[in-house]
Chain A
Amino acid sequence: EPEVTQTPSHQVTQMGQEVILRCVPISNHLYFYWYRQILGQKVEFLVSFYNNEISEKSEIFDDQFSVERPDGSNFTLKIRSTKLEDSAMYFCASTQRGAYNEQFFGPGTRLTVL
């Protein structure tokens, strides 16, 4: 069964460093999302992406964040200068056109900022 994959599973970085989180969505999906989950808190929407551009972004998704689909398979989230409060699980999700709400999630990347 097709699935969303994410790498790395765990990333440890120093405050102020740049990180890139990678996702490979399901191959025939067209809408892509990033969410994050701080330990003990709700899953929060960060950004949605369709047709090579951002569809919507949350207040969390400030200038330190960017997304990119560099080729036909990968979808990346970059944090330019990490802060302690960026420590969280980051989940990538994708969905087919016409089935927008059946979002399929990857296993997540646990980001630890020291």
Chain B
Amino acid sequence: QKEVEQDPGPLSVPEGAIVSLNCTYSNSAFQYFMWYRQYSRKGPELLMYTYSSGNKEDGRFTAQVDKSSKYISLFIRDSQPSDSATYLCAMSAAGNNRKLIWGLGTSLAVNP
């Protein structure tokens, strides 16, 4: 089983829709969960960072972590065309190094 799985999409939604992006993982040692946004041929940009289980909200973005199910989600409310990008989940275990293990990324298009 792959460590982190993420449906690559593509996902196409109308402007204003609620978007739900998800990742599953197999390694129970993961404790830190991140969502990055990546525009074409650019570096990943950190959107949300969550420790352990629970929810975190930042403006139109909400990150959820369910460690019991090994499932994380990112919700985007009132989606905008500028949200069109690839969204990557990444996670790491505890420890000083905390290298990131990544999902494949989900390509999102928000249509005006």
Contact = CB atoms under 8 A, between A and B. Distances in A.
Interface of A: 4, 6, 31, 33, 35, 41-45, 48, 50, 55-56, 58, 89, 91, 100-108, 110
B104 A106 contact: no
- Contact-residue bracket for chain B: 20 to 34
A110 B99 contact: no
B90 interface: yes
Name which of B4, B97, B101 has the most chain A CB atoms within 10 A of its CB: B97
B46 to A, nearest CB: 6
A39 B63 CA distance: 27
Contact of A108 (B43, B51, B103): B43
Name which of B4, B92, B96, B104 has the most chain A CB atoms within 10 A of its CB: B96
Interface string B72-103: 00000000000000001010100011111111
B99 A43 contact: no
A78 B8 CA distance: 31
A43 B103 CA distance: 8
Name which of B36, B44, B46 has the most chain A CB atoms within 10 A of its CB: B44
Interface of B: 4, 32, 34, 36, 41-46, 49, 51, 88, 90, 92, 96-105
Nearest to B88: A43
Across the A-B interface, give the 10 residue pairs with the lowest CB-CB distance, nearest first. Answer: A105-B43, A43-B102, A45-B99, A100-B98, A101-B32, A107-B43, A56-B97, A55-B97, A105-B44, A42-B102
Contacts of A42: 4, 102-105
Contacts of A48: 97, 99
Nearest to A55: B97
A101 B92 contact: yes
Contacts of B49: 101-102
B42 A33 contact: no
Nearest to A97: B96
B97 A43 contact: no
A55 B97 CA distance: 7
Contacts of B96: 50, 55, 100
